[in-house]
Amino acid sequence: MNANFIDSPVDDVRREFETNFYGPLLVTRAFVPVIERNGGGHILNVHSVLSWIGLVGSHSASKAAFWSQTNSLRLDLKPRGIEVTGLHVGYVGTDLTAGIDAPKSTAESVAAQALDGIA
């Protein structure tokens, strides 16, 4: 969406945060009890490199908030036997980036590298 902080309706900014911050948080909260019952495990949160820079208004800000959430969850979940890793990706060859003319990683290579990193 990429809502501008000054000119966009606040509801548009909220929608970005609902998707990029609260959505992953709710998924994590749903899975934590299951992972904990299974003796622990790992959560991999996939971030955008846009979380590093304020390039695109509320989108970048919501991604930065998600990155911060990941760092906090890492500390909160460690005592429960759950590790948390944040993966920052650039362009990945998906339907979402089909119209972008730039170098892209394949989804398969990103997944393989992420799993290698966790292992």
pLDDT tens-digit map of 76-102? 999 999 999 999 988 788 887 788 888
Can you give the pTM of this predicted structure?
0.85
CATH superfamily of the domain spanning 10-118: NAD(P)-binding Rossmann-like Domain (3.40.50.720)
Domain boundaries, the chain: 10-118
Neighbours of 92 (CB within 10 A): 17
For 38, the 3-state DSSP assignment is coil
pLDDT higher than 90, residue 35 = yes
List phi, psi (to 5°) of 86.
Answer: -105, 130
DSSP per-residue codes, 47-63: EEGGGSS--SHHHHHHH
pLDDT tens-digit map of 2-29? 678 888 899 999 999 999 999 999 999 9
Q: Which residue bears the tokens 């994590």?
A: 28
For 103, the 3-state DSSP assignment is coil
Do residues 44 and 89 make contact, with C-beta atoms less than 8 angstroms apart?
A: no
